[in-house]
Chain A
């Protein structure tokens, strides 16, 4: 299942805020990942060709999500890429969360890709990860 997300209008005047949700923590990770990908570029206009596998563990799912989303921003600059997709799985072994993900994209090409904001980083401002009934939700502000 994919999580969903929506950009928020009422906060972060100069930046980009979004809320992602899902029935599981893994779905929230997927929704938040998609929000960051779409903040950078329209994934449908990005081909493949560049790929990187990322594996991270953390006992704290908040810290794990923050670091993973920061990885996406980092590789955008370090490799000069935007992304088509980022499939991931999130499992829990004992007290530790294990994230296995792949970043798939291509080098930035202004002629063929619909580019959006040059996100500079993930922030902890108003960062919130909570469960309400059967729904998990995260709020994140991206610095642009």
Chain B
């Protein structure tokens, strides 16, 4: 087996691979990668180097993990999961990612492809108009600093209080769309200035809003699908992928700077500057945790305002209220976050960076409606292929700190993709395949070509076979909005 590393990688099962402690000095736990052999072979060298760097961080428990969509990141690899003891462990912005609480949201409808196809052009134009995307875009919500502070502390709850959503939406979000312990007073003025006008905006890069279809033959678990409002029969659903925008990035940057200086007094050394960290219980660690929660709540609010705009757009195009169109939230889940959770080892700070929480049916943290089926997991693929709805398992809680994959994972750099593909040509080609794309930037569109990503179906198979998530349905794109 040829891998992009000289390290020894041992097969544990067909989907689990382990790098032993002997492969890097300073490793405190082994590193484990979840992937099929084919995916493992395609992983870039950064994954092996970075996941073993993570294994050296103080207070890490059990394993440093990487999911099958893993690839090179800053500090942690994308797809990285690691849990640290709350007493003697650390917290690291590099284990959360710059886009704090970047996440996925799925909205169901009662509409079918036959209903939407004749109005698809108008629908995508309306969505493109209502959901600002791309460089420097600002949203329609005007906030005072005081009100922005309430967004930071209340998240999606703030939106519902202001009429940007329904109370029942909150039941279908990780943490109810509001994480406790957010303290706006420790967020810098820079971060506030960057974020105050961005509520309800999509951003660019791999962020998108997608109109998708669910066919009967692509539903793998009809009972769970039905419980989540996914009925098939060419049903239309809407997926949103975005996060905390410039605000979250500024919070991450600000605290990376703080942690770079804080490490020496705490006697911490790291293998990579982007793994800068502080003890979780230290003043610096607690400040970052609070500021991170501000950004996480802002991301929940961002996706909620976007949901409001999506419902308005559908209402306008179909001449009915969003409620009568059955536009209920399926779920909203974070994939860049650190949270305190309880496992066999005790209370741990679980870092998920490009990885999704995947609690199984037995998890007491889940609302009643998910106790029988497990927590929904939403995984976005490339704009040309498709995405998946899955559910978490009790095995994930036992094996991976309740975590799984988050998307397809890139195989080609943005610069290479731009040289290889042309946005205009791609847009035309996708239209011929029945996918209507509205994009602010044609070069940005080229960067997101399907061939720049791994095959999401193979990535999903890895986690399904490993038992850490179960497939529910595949979602096929028919319309996409990109920044």
- A contact residues vs B (CB 8 Å cutoff): 7-17, 40-41, 70, 73-74, 76-78, 80-82, 107-108, 110, 114-118, 120-121, 123-125, 127, 141, 143-144
Contacts and interface: CB of A to CB of B under 8 A. Distances in A.
B205 interface: yes
B194 A78 contact: yes
30 contacts: A8-B415, A9-B413, A11-B413, A12-B72, A12-B413, A13-B410, A13-B412, A14-B78, A14-B206, A16-B414, A17-B413, A73-B246, A74-B190, A74-B193, A74-B250, A77-B195, A77-B197, A77-B246, A80-B136, A110-B440, A115-B444, A117-B414, A120-B246, A121-B98, A121-B250, A121-B252, A125-B274, A141-B74, A143-B249, A144-B414
Q: Name the residue in A17, A41, A117 with the highest tally of chain B Cβ atoms < 10 Å from its Cβ.
A: A117
Interface string B400-418: 0000000000111111100
B413 A144 contact: no
Interface residues of B, number: 48
B143 interface: no
A107 B256 CA distance: 30
B483 to A, nearest CB: 6
B135 A118 contact: yes
Contacts of A125: 74-75, 272-274
A66 to B, nearest CB: 10
Contacts of A114: 441
A73 B253 CA distance: 12
Contacts, number: 127
Given A9-B416, A9-B419, A115-B440, A76 B135 contact: yes
Nearest to B78: A14
B71 interface: yes
B198 interface: yes
A82 B249 CA distance: 18
Contact of A78 (B193, B206, B411, B413): B193
B444 A123 contact: no
Contacts of B256: 124
A12 B274 CA distance: 14
B203 interface: yes
A117 B245 CA distance: 13
A14 B410 contact: yes
Contacts of B73: 14
Q: Name the residue in B71, B73, B75 with the highest tally of chain A Cβ atoms < 10 Å from its Cβ.
A: B73
A118 B134 contact: yes
Nearest to B414: A16
Contacts of A118: 134-137, 203-205, 483
Given A10-B413, A41-B135, A116-B135, A121 B440 contact: no
B441 A77 contact: no
A143 B135 contact: no
Given A12-B413, A115-B135, A123 B72 contact: no
Contacts of A117: 135, 204-205, 414, 441, 443-444, 447
Contacts of B203: 118, 120
Nearest to B418: A7
A141 B250 CA distance: 16
